[in-house]
Structure 1
């Protein structure tokens, strides 16, 4: 499911929820409703442009839809994104947990230094938690998709990564792990672009006017002291320690960010699979063998045979992995020092052993970001 609070996204949404049997919504003065509103067969709220929530938020369109519901664009002096939660206890609890996280991180960053989405308001509408956010642009995934999956440039990646790393490091410093970092959950503040012809690719290319981004979807954010569920993260960005059930911590966010950066670089997802053992085999193809000491501790014993990944390279699945994956450095489109630095950083972010994986504080200090540091010091 793609998650966004942006106006142009195809799927745009994280945990936005359906509304069940919501009482009569007020209508704007342009339209009047004469009968009470019911949900559709899937449990989504039946609404129309012009409906009012809380006698304040005027619905002007749908931003996106996901398994759990919808995000609508509303007018409240200015445009906002409003997330409507199902009137079901487990979703209410998850939403209230997200509100708690958002209130905390927003209050700790009153100067708006870090690139985390701002919650503007929240309220309980007859059992439905509604969360109001600033309205952002397309997700980085949707921009890639609408641009024909053309990769971002190295300078664009550096600029976006600097903002994202600092935002997630801010979470880590405050004892939070995001747990669901992916391109769908990184949104451009403004996704307006210029269209230019790319002579090398022989096609039109969208060039963003601004590279400001924000991290969204704190519905699965977990405090250090809270219970850590065994499985976190969306499949393609899931760290090996999560798959092997070795236990996880903030380092799993670093792995996810490494996967995101190489996706920005390639325009395509690195680990395109829906099977855990195949996922681990892809990791080995790209990053080399998983250390025996990690496999020995793995709770998922069916993935392991004689302290090695139980994988047949000569099977049809094995041939698929060999065809679709290659060693990390072979993905480099150039051997220039800048590209070498990016791949050195990626190697450190995608270290199998989470205890040896680079921290975000260390990553921000990596030489790949030297041009940004020089610019700031001028």
Structure 2
């Protein structure tokens, strides 16, 4: 059955009667006894909880002070329409942006996630940008089938931007953790990655760069393998690339690491890193610093292209010119980097990481065989998966698969392995914009 929006359901008589069933019963009889029990009513969820700003509504960090049982009320979108009221039931997450609350909408008695942005100028400006992106994604995904979180409504409450989205399940990192970081089967990985790629296709079509794809930002939609991509708080448009410090380090693309021009292809690098992690249970490139991250990528995939490195604003942080060698540059030695940064700590070594993608995947599969792992990964044909990783984890973004190309790879389509597979010739538009240096 196709997804129907909250607004569509409310426009039908049967929908209005069943969606607001409790309200309907109360209209019929004011004595209707149903009342939801609230556990820990009055418990403060926000830390610190002292109200020192915004007439006492906000703490020193600009967060709205929230308690279980509080009611967050929307402003009426049109005259004559009732305000929606959201009853706070708990905290889903906190971050530099603000808080995400689990709330109950009191007319429909449906649960939602409500993201409450900090009441600070920088976060308010970014929230306006996030709002524009969420509205655009909703407009181009009316049936809610493209594996991106759906915005239900947005409003301002006590000077805080609030985004109401569908309530989803746990994130993939938490799911990996619950499985003791042993990873998933290749069949499950193929299904999950296909859905992430579908979300990337939609974003790329609209010129949106997510900028923070990682397991924590991919949530289960009811049950695996259904997932959705969340958190557009760091997203930008290709035509307006404002930031240099983006992407979580383990999933940060080579072009961002060196400070070179970037586009939607940085999300495809993150997809490759996520796919490998879903198999291994641990990050493929667990760098302790940007320099360590570059070293790990170089060791496994080879040197960065000279044109990319030399166009990067971070050149002197990690490289040195050497005109007498082929590329015209080399990576700083560990001693040189330590002297430059006063950080002489040696990088951590991880037994599961080999010298190449093939060696890492096959080595972990051999380990699973020894341990009699029941997922079948030790016996399954890993060639399509390894080939897919090679195509997605290209250091040069111009050689990296686009989302549409990746959707046609045998690992995703589950067609027989083709050792001579090459990407389809029809390329998705790749517009490289030079980075505006706004730190």
TM-score interval, smaller chain = 0.7 to 0.9
Match in the other structure for 1:347: 390
Shift in CA distance, 292/46, structure 1 to aligned 2, threshold 3 Å: closer
Is 1:277 aligned with 2:296? no
Match in the other structure for 1:234: 248
In the TM superposition, what whole-angstrom CA distance separates every residue of 1:208-249 from its partner, at most 9, and x where no partner exists? xx3100001111211122133222211111111111111101
Is 1:311 aligned with 2:311? no
TM-score, normalisation: structure 2: 0.69
Q: Which of 55, 63, 67 is equivalent to 2:96?
A: 67
Deviation at 1:21, TM superposition (A): 4.2
Match in the other structure for 1:45: 64
Q: Which of 137, 144, 149 is equivalent to 2:176?
A: 144
Shift in CA distance, 289/63, structure 1 to aligned 2, threshold 3 Å: same
Match in the other structure for 1:249: 263
8 Å CA contact 1:295–1:308 kept in 2: the answer is no
Higher RCO (C-alpha under 8 Å, 6+ residues apart): 1
- Please, which moves more after superposition, 308-317 or 264-273? 308-317
- Please, which moves more after superposition, 334-343 or 118-127? 334-343
Shift in CA distance, 149/323, structure 1 to aligned 2, threshold 3 Å: closer
Could you tell me how far apart the structure 1 residues matched to 2:61 and 2:174 are?
25
Which blocks of at least 5 consecutive residues in structure 1 are unaligned? 1-17, 24-36, 192-209, 374-378
**Structure with a larger share of its residues in strand:** 1
Partner of 2:296: helix, strand, or coil? helix
8 Å CA contact 1:285–1:325 kept in 2: the answer is no
In the TM superposition, what whole-angstrom CA distance separates every residue of 1:284-325 from its partner, at most 9, and x where no partner exists? 122123334433443323222321212349998667458674
Shift in CA distance, 284/318, structure 1 to aligned 2, threshold 3 Å: farther
Is 1:264 aligned with 2:293? no
Is 1:290 aligned with 2:304? yes
Could you tell me how far apart the structure 2 residues matched to 1:359 and 1:244 are?
21
TM-score, normalisation: structure 1: 0.79
8 Å CA contact 2:352–2:360 kept in 1: the answer is no
Shift in CA distance, 46/151, structure 1 to aligned 2, threshold 3 Å: same
1:51-200 paired onto structure 2 within 5 Å: 51-54=70-73, 56-76=85-105, 77-191=109-223
Partner of 1:163: helix, strand, or coil? helix
8 Å CA contact 2:244–2:256 kept in 1: the answer is yes
Deviation at 1:42, TM superposition (A): 4.6
Match in the other structure for 1:330: 359
CA RMSD of aligned residues (A): 2.6
Count residues in correspondence: 325
Q: Which has the larger radius of gyration?
A: 2
Match in the other structure for 1:211: 225
- Please, which moves more after superposition, 90-99 or 329-338? 329-338
